[in-house]
Structure 1
Amino acid sequence: MNLDFNLNLTQQQKLVMTQQMQLSVKLLQMSNYELLDYVNKEVQENPVVDIEPSDIVQEKNDEIDYNKLSQYLESDNYNSREISRDNEEVSPLNFISERKSLKDFLKDQIIDLLENDYIKSICYYIIECINSSGYLTENIEELSETLKVDKKYVYESLEIVQSLEPIGVGARNLKECLKIQAEKKGILDKNLQDIIDKYLEDIAENRYNKIAKDLNITIQEAQAYGDRVKNFEPKPSRGFYTGDETEYIIPDAYIKQIDDQLYIIMNDNFIPKLSINNLYKNILNDSQDEDAKKYVKEKINGATFLIKSIDMRRNTIYKVIEQIVDIQRDYFLDKGSYLIPMTLKDISERINMHESTVSRAIKEKYINTDRGIIKIRDLFTTSVSNNKEEDLSTVKIKNYIKDIVDKEDKSKPISDQDICNILKNEGMGISRRTVAKYRDELGIKSSSKRKRF
């Protein structure tokens, strides 16, 4: 065994991510909402940073006709107006009240009931135990024990809560929720009750022949029952404010069409414009306190890099969007129904950046277009070659599949293999397995589950 120790010199290439590089990457992949939150925190923590009012920065693809652009932006209310306090206009938004929650809506109905305060107080407690989907999360025994009341009063109060709008609220599970709705609509017969209790999975799988055989009814009758169940609301709280809020989407850019031109307007005017406070610059130049100068220098360096990183982020996102708009020009001009194939590599080669940078630049980013708000990543599609010497995007193929299914005879749904054959005749050579994959991604059920009797 050789236990000798030797010293050897080796040369390696190694990339070390500095804190500044990490910050730059971090800012690039932030959404606008996250960036705004981050900047506000930095302003609070770094005393050398000043906030200035920011101007709306407008970008272009080609030469801008500023008169047309100005008129267009004014029509879209992009320009803000300064209003004096003496002549302040009253916005109708000032009169919009806070959204009423589901629980508040239910409590308001309890107030109007001709019930004694004892029962009402139990009802209020039950309402507080209803979750964001509209279901009661605690059982009768738990409620009785917690409130120290007889179970019969809890049952009585629960029955009152379940009689409120929206129909189905206060149910303890999905089956009870569906039966409450059926009963309120006056259609809860024995067959429907049995179907809700025993055959929900069979309805989902379109196994109406099994239901018909078990209940001694026709397949058409079984399917009619299934249609009724599918029309019920499984989430009674839908449409009410429940506190489960989705994040606000702040588009990173607007794509506006004027005549036959597309313009990119970066939506970063809400991000505060940052600058270095002159007071701290003077400290750096005039102060004799070395510790103070060192502290200020660190803060100024941090603030300077933050300002540069935000500007770099903006420029990178703009370059990416600019190339996307160029590639998908017909799509944005509504001259083509579908996106053409486009990958991260296509964009990275055009702007001479790494694919990972492009990926970070589009992460959780959105653009506002005439087609609505679009997630930038959704504009990237792979391609499938056909025998017509052109590449088709997966989006286009999915739309073909959707059109085929929409036009099929519902009593004889088209199988995946038949769809595959139709697409091959159109020059789209994809396998049956790929058809099934795209169909699943479109939320379309298999032919056996689409069959109407």
Structure 2
Amino acid sequence: MNLDFNLNLTQQQKLVMTQQMQLSVKLLQMSNYELLDYVNKEIEENPVIDAEASGVLKEDNNEIDYNKLSKYLEDDNYSSKEISRNNEDVSPFNFISEQKSLKDFLKEQIIDLFENDYIRSICFYIIESINNLGYLSESIENLSNSLKVDSKYISEALKVIQSLDPTGIGARDLKECLMIQARKKGILDNKLKEIIDRYLEDIADNKYNKIAKDMNITIHEAQIYGDIIKSFEPKPSRGFYTGDETEYIIPDAYIKQVKEDLYILMNDNFIPKISINNIYKNILNNSQDEDAKKYVKEKINGATFLIKSIDMRRNTIYRVIEQIVDIQRNYFLDKHSYLKPMTLKDISERINMHESTISRAIRDKYINTDRGIMKIKDLFTTSISNNKNEDISTIKVKKYIRDIIDKEDKSKPISDQQISDILKNEGMKISRRTIAKYRDEMEIKSSSKRKRF
């Protein structure tokens, strides 16, 4: 064994991120909801931080005509005081409607029914076993064992629950859910029952030839049954709060149009206004206790950098949105206009910032516009060149594809290759595979599954 101990000098290039740099990156890519949670935790853990609630909106553009903007906001049922950071009365959470709990809704119906207390209490227990899709996740046998009651009472209570709204609630699987809905509509004949029981996958694949042959009915009749089944709700809990929803969306900015001008109103009302408590500043300046001074200095440094990081995050997001609004000006001004092709590189070059920073700045960020609340990321779209050397956004191409499919003869649906040929004649060279990809993204079925008999 040859053990050779040598001292070698090598040169390596490394990027070392300090804790402060890591915090800046972390804060930049947080959503507003995550940032609020993070800041509140810092306020709780860092004693040197003083915090007070902020107002709703703050404007960054120094060239704004405030008189014109205030008048517009008043006309649009906004109060001009919403632009102030010092107003504590308005919160973005005021715009969030109260969600109705599915389980509470079911219990309210049970209370209104003329059922005895015994069955009612079993119903309440069963309701707690209904999952987020609206299905009963426990078997009658398990419920019977858990409650130590005869299974006939469980079945009776379940029958009551399955009679409630929304229709299909309390089903144990998809087939039972569909059966309940058909029964409530009074259309559950033997043929529909058999199709639900045996041919759901064939309906999804548009294989009505197979269903018609097996059941000795016409293809048209089979498709009518398929249409009925497709009209049912496979997720009875839809529209109710089940505890499984995503976090609240707090827009990072409002894009407001005043005549032909667009204004960016940064929405940072939800972040408490942070400052450093003067008592701790005095400790740092006057205390003789070195340990206390060291502790306070550490906490003040942390608070100071948090304040700077939040401000840096806000300025970065503003600069990115500012460039997006400039590029997509027509899109925001005209509801019939399409997005222009726009990439991270386009924004990066405009503000001299790395693409990865732009990516973090738009991650889980939203803007509130006259077109509604939209994810900033969705405003970025690639381009396709036509024979006129014009760049067309993929969104516009998808619109062409959808229009072609909407106008097709449903008895002879157009294939992806035919769509590709049509677009080629319009000057857009797009492959069949790309057409299929865009169609899937728009949740449009293939031609074989779109066919009407």
Mapping of residues 77-96 of structure 1, within 5 Å: 77-80=78-81
Distance 1:38 1:97 in 2: 24
Checking the alignment, whether the CA contact within 8 Å between 1:52 and 1:272 is kept in structure 2 is: yes
Shift of 1:100: 4.4
| CA distance, structure 2, for counterparts of residue 52 and residue 163 of structure 1 | 51
Aligned counterparts of 2:117 and 2:260: Cα–Cα separation in 1: 68
Segment drifting more, 266-275 vs 364-373: 266-275
Change (3 A) 1:231 1:21: same
Residue 7 (structure 1) shift? 0.6
Q: CA deviation at 1:394?
A: 1.0
How far apart are residue 231 of structure 1 and its match?
0.8
CA contact (8 A) 1:330 1:336 kept: no
Aligned to 2:222: 222
Q: How far, CA to CA, are the matches of 1:108 and 1:320 in structure 2?
A: 49
Q: 2 CA distance for matches of 1:98 and 1:353?
A: 41
1:98 deviates by 6.7
Name stretches of at least 5 consecutive residues in structure 1 with no aligned partner.
Answer: 82-88
Cα distance change, pair 270–218 in 1 and its aligned pair in 2 (3 A): same
Task: Answer with 103-112 or 406-415: which moved more.
Answer: 103-112
3-state SS of 2:223 partner? helix
**Residues 27, 35 of structure 2: 8 Å contact kept:** yes
Mapped to 2, the partners of 1:228 and 1:70 lie a distance apart of 53
Query: 2:58 aligns to what?
Result: 57
Instruction: Check conservation: 1:199, 1:211, Cα contact below 8 A.
Output: yes
Q: In the alignment, what sits opposite 1:338?
A: 338
Structure 1: distance between partners of 2:9 and 2:238: 68
Aligned residue in 2 for 1:186: 186
Task: Name the % identity.
Answer: 79
**SS across alignment from 1:120:** helix
How far did residue 121 of structure 1 move?
Answer: 2.6
Distance in 2 between residues matched to 1:104 and 1:329, nearest whole Å: 46
1:222-261 to 2 correspondences below 5 Å: 222-261=222-261
Note if contact 2:420-2:431 (Cα within 8 Å) is conserved in structure 1. yes
- Whether the 8 Å contact between 1:136 and 1:171 is mirrored in structure 2 is yes
Letter in 1 for 2:358: V
**Residues of 2 paired with 1:403 and 1:214: CA distance?**
36
Q: How much has 1:6 moved relative to structure 2? A: 1.1
**Which sections of structure 2, spanning at least 5 residues, go unmatched?**
83-88
Residue of structure 2 equivalent to 1:213 = 213
Query: Which residues of 2 match residues 39-188 of structure 1 at below 5 A?
Result: 39-54=39-54, 56-60=57-61, 63-74=63-74, 75-80=76-81, 99-188=99-188
d(CA) in 2 for partners of 1:255, 1:114: 53
1:80, distance to aligned residue in structure 2 (A): 4.3
Shift, 1:336, TM fit? 5.7
> Which residue of 2 is the match for residue 415 of structure 1?
415
Residues 243 and 219 from structure 1, CA distance in 2 versus in 1: closer, same or farther, beyond 3 angstroms? Answer: same
Residue number in structure 1 paired with 2:85: none
1:403, distance to aligned residue in structure 2 (A): 1.0
2:53–2:270: 8 Å Cα contact kept in structure 1?
no
Report SS of the residue matched to 1:14: coil
Detail structure 1 runs of 4+ shifted over 4 Å in the superposition.
96-100
Confirm or deny: 8 A CA contact 1:59 1:263 kept in the other structure.
no
The CA deviation string for residues 185-233 of structure 1, in whole angstroms up to 9 with x for no partner, is: 1100111001000011111111111111111111111111011101111
Taking structure 1 as the reference length, the TM-score comes to 0.93
> Residues of 2 paired with 1:115 and 1:248: CA distance?
38
Give SS of 2:50's match.
Answer: strand
2:418 alignment partner, SS class = helix
1:301 maps onto 2:304 in alignment: no
Equivalent position SS for 1:384: strand
Structure 1 Cα separation of the partners of residues 152 and 11 of structure 2: 82
Q: Summarize the Cα distance change of 1:275–1:132 in structure 2 as closer, same or farther, 3 Å threshold.
A: same
Stretch of structure 1 that moved more, 240-249 or 166-175: 240-249
Q: Counterpart in 2 of 1:289?
A: 289
**Greater mean deviation of Cα atoms: 296-305 or 153-162:** 153-162
